[in-house]
Chains A and B, each alone.
Chain A
Amino acid sequence: MDYQMMFWALLPDLMVVVGLFAALGLDYGLLRHRPLPERNFTLARLASWSLVLGLVTMVFLGMQVSDFHFADGQIVFTPMRYALKAGLFAMAILVVQLSAREPVTGQASEYYALLLLATLGMGFVITSGNLLGAFVSLELVSLSLYALTGLWRRSRPAAESAIKYFVFGAVSSAFLLFGLSYIYGVTGALDMAAVADRIAGFKTVPPMLVVGWLLLLVGLGFKIAAAPFHAWAPDVYHNAPTPAAAWVATGSKIAAIALMITLFQPVIDAPEGSPLRLPLGVALAALAVTAMVGGNLAALRQTNLKRLLAYSAIANSGYLLVGLIALTNDARAATLFYTLVYALSTLGAFAVVSLVGGRLGRDAEIDDFRGCWKTMPGMAALMLIFILSLAGIPPLAGFVGKYYLFYAAILGNPDISAWNEGWYWLVGIALLMSVVSLYYYLKVLKAFLVHEGDERAIEEVGTTVNVALLLLAFTIVALGLYPQPILDIFIAAGG
């Protein structure tokens, strides 16, 4: 074991851990008697700096090290994982900054500590290639997010959602762990690379493995909020503090999808015609259809923007599964790319909700945002970009992402010779549902850009957040116009 290498590889996370403890210590030490807004501002700054330092280290390391496989796959670094983790840290900075000017809860230090813990956990999920390591990291994420959801202590709906989230999450973790135990039981390995090797060595694939993967799919279905395992999502998105909800919607989605990719890698590597592929493909298709249809149809009737985004998240999980269905390298790249794009767009939308309407205790009803084009034209323009990206309108990243998903579903397998062998019917449903989704996305934009609202004072949102949001919008446009560099990273084999 090369401990020096391990130290370097974990240095970014170390920065964040230091920031986390510093935030807790400062709040209970030096800043104890200061007023809440001041404490909140200092802590947000501290948390952001620790993330920035972590990000810089990671980028620096990413240029030095290309492939790194450590301790039974507990820490695996590849360019793809680097990229995802760096993106995650960058997004975390925006999430932290969203609450910098106005405290989200009374418990400032716990709030930031939990955010950072969740971010750390997501980072570890992404960089873990080990069954146990990934599971434990995912639990770290989940536990932090349960607590964050319930952090509005005086709000009964928040407490209710936190309990709901916890119960659903715990059940899903059980499914996940059960599935993992099957895979471990059959292959006797915890390292995913070793699992893949063992499976390749089998003459016939034991049916237990298929059961294991189906259980994994159920567990992960809960985590990515794919219908019918989605019931927690609307409540959590609606009732959690808005920046925390943003992190539930984006960060945990990236982590869960990254875990899914890691866990499904042996299936992706399995040869064509392997008995693993067909049942999983069918299960994925079924889950995709229920998620797309359920999410999109339910979203049509929402009047609350955060709930609408929750159902849009459910629908988007469906699209993601459509991309994964071919279980090929293209499918993997498409799924990861769309997850990233979806997360960026959703984060932007949540950020705007949080900045424009979501002050403490105010419900983000869609009609609250009427006349935003007049009071905060910049925010309205940004919302246009984020929502259109979610709707999959070119030239924004959401379009390329969605197209690539459908492309992967139909053409991911280069062996397809006849034109009618792809998943055309599934892509057809996905496209039909995209048309449906345009209705509610435009409903949101109608409030932001079309309707006249009551004249309100123009609210300042702060330079840092403005710059961050502009960067986010720029990234979405740039990824739409020229996605090739990122796609190259995701498509490189052996991720």
Chain B
Amino acid sequence: MPALMTVILSFAGALVCGLIPARHHRAIRWTALTFATGGLATVIGCWMRYLPSLEFTENFADVVSHEWIPVIGAHFHTGYDGISLPLLMVTGLVAVCGVLFTWNLEKRANEFYAYYFALIGGVYGVFLSLDLFLLFVFYEIAVVPKYFLIAIWGGAKREFAAMKLVLYSFGGSALVLIGLLAIYASAHTFNLPLLLSRDHFSPGFEAIVFPILFLGFAILAGMWPFHTWAPTGHVAAPTAASMLLAGVVMKLGAYGCLRVAIGVLPVGAQLWAPLVAAVAVINIVYGALVALRQTDFKYVIGYSSVSHMGFVLLGLATLNATGMTGAVLQMFSHGVIGALLFALVGSVIYSRTKTRMLDEFHGLIDRMPAIAWIFIITGLASMGLPGFSGFVSELYVLLGAWGSASPWIIAGAGLGILATFGYTLVKIHEAFFKMRNPAEGNGAPATEYPPPTLPELIGCGLLLGAALLVGLCPWLFTNTISASLKFLVERLTF
């Protein structure tokens, strides 16, 4: 039950924030912060209890199970394990930081937080669901708020981007729904633990249904060539929404790929894994190379998300314990770091420079030193600097890939890492160190921008701290992830 508090708090937050009249910005933002923090506290509480009590088992904790709609075999069945915990954690963190980074929002603030919390509630729900129907319900709940968040509060081309994103997501869920119906028609249950523990399906069935289900989820994870919603959507979205999109919503897709597609249909997964791995490498390399060519800073981050999600997909495609642990860890890592990058570019820097075009930036390292250094550290963390979570997760993924994938895949991934180094360093240079206008640079020093505000500092601290903590003590997560994956991996290797 306690874990469900995250879902309840989020939907309650949506309702409460929505009902406060829009003119009370202050009340709304504090209410929002309270509900978001409540969710995070709940997750941390779950984690503290999970670590000692159920360590190294594949059992689910906090299980709630009720009959819901018997006619269609749907149950209300929730719980979490080592795989969902890091994702719940990243959701909580990003939810809190999203509020912090949009601290000064005034336009229709009540509605903003109503959609915001509806989205977060759906995300928490997906990570907690142990019934496939319930999972799908939450998955769908998370679709529509995205549209309004982008279409109302977004930047340039917001209506186009919002519609594109929502139609892609909805198209993905249509595929997922077909897959789920097929699973139910064959197994006559939606019970995830039951589906994970038994072999219900013929190999022919799995070979056909796996790609449908996997593709449905992978669209939301930003898999090439269905990734195009991601950069446009992330760029057009307001800061808090792009943080959620990059940090959390893309993880929904990856989580679905892992839990449902690979977990329930292991034979199909083995059959299709080489193709997934190849596409994952394309994701990594293509995302990085496109990022290198961008002139809008937010698009750089947008394509870097696509690239980083490639590592998640590659980790999943290894189908071994190391690689998949790396994938889950990478979901966490990219969740916090990607969200922070979007916050820095979309809100912290943009609110000061009023532009995101790299060729209009000018000596930012001198004009906003604190923010610039925060960004540089985050950028390096995203690149895979040892000491941060990204390094550990990508290492796991690559080690896993050595074990199972073909040399070409490894070579491609290596190329991707080089490209990642390339675009990170180049873009950091262009943004912060390059002097555009020597005449102005030599003369009177350009005006200094105001230093980061307190909410911004707290937000950066939380997200960077989480990345650093996991980078330094990866066992905090890896032990539980591996334990929960053990069973799944055993089914994959019989």
Residues of A participating in the B interface, judged by any CB pair closer than 8 Å: 330, 333, 373, 388, 393-395, 399-400, 403-404, 406-407, 410-411, 416, 419, 422, 424, 427-428, 431-432, 434-435, 438-439, 442, 445-446, 449-450, 482-484, 487-488, 491
Contacts and interface: CB of A to CB of B under 8 A. Distances in A.
B140 A399 contact: yes
Contacts of B171: 435
Contacts of A407: 72, 181, 184
Contacts of A399: 137, 140
23 contacts: A393-B144, A395-B137, A406-B181, A407-B184, A411-B181, A411-B185, A419-B186, A419-B201, A424-B182, A427-B181, A428-B178, A431-B178, A434-B170, A442-B147, A442-B166, A445-B148, A446-B159, A449-B148, A450-B152, A483-B69, A484-B68, A487-B71, A491-B71
A11 B432 CA distance: 82
A42 to B, nearest CB: 37
A482 B68 CA distance: 7
A373 B110 CA distance: 12
A301 B2 CA distance: 48
Lowest 3 A-B CB distances belong to which pairs? A431-B174, A419-B186, A394-B137
A442 B68 CA distance: 30
Interface in B157-185: 159, 163, 166-167, 170-171, 174, 177-178, 181-182, 184-185
Contact of B152 (A333, A435, A449): A449
Contacts of A330: 71
Contacts of B170: 434-435, 438
Contact of A410 (B133, B137, B181, B201): B181
Contacts of B163: 439, 442
Contact of A450 (B159, B166, B177, B201): B159
Given A394-B137, A449-B152, A403 B174 contact: no
Interface residues of B, number: 34
A419 B144 contact: no
Given A394-B140, A450-B159, A333 B147 contact: no
B70 interface: yes
Interface string B49-84: 000000000000000000011111000000000000
A439 B167 contact: yes
A153 to B, nearest CB: 41
Contacts, number: 87
Contacts of A491: 71
Contact of B184 (A333, A411, A446, A449): A411
Given A373-B111, A484-B70, A422 B185 contact: yes
Contacts of B140: 393-394, 399
Contact of A403 (B70, B72, B167): B72
A432 B171 CA distance: 7
B380 interface: no
Contacts of A483: 69
B205 interface: yes
Interface in B119-149: 133, 137-138, 140-141, 143-144, 147-148
A386 to B, nearest CB: 14
A353 B355 CA distance: 41
B377 to A, nearest CB: 37
B181 A388 contact: no
Given A410-B182, A438-B166, 19 more contacts: A373-B108, A373-B111, A393-B140, A394-B138, A403-B177, A406-B177, A410-B185, A411-B181, A419-B182, A435-B174, A439-B167, A442-B163, A446-B151, A450-B148, A482-B69, A484-B69, A484-B71, A487-B69, A487-B71
A410 B73 CA distance: 14
A482 B186 CA distance: 25
Contacts of B151: 446, 450
Nearest to B148: A449
B184 A404 contact: no
Contacts of A446: 151, 159
A373 B177 CA distance: 33
B107 to A, nearest CB: 11
Nearest to A418: B186
Contacts of A434: 170, 174
Nearest to A422: B185
A431 B185 CA distance: 17
Nearest to B134: A394
A388 B137 contact: no
A450 to B, nearest CB: 5
A393 B174 contact: no
A143 to B, nearest CB: 38
A419 B69 CA distance: 22
Nearest to A411: B185
Nearest to B154: A450
Contact of A393 (B69, B143, B167): B143
Contacts of B182: 410, 419, 424
B158 to A, nearest CB: 9
B265 to A, nearest CB: 12
Contacts of A450: 148, 151-152, 159
Contacts of A395: 137, 141
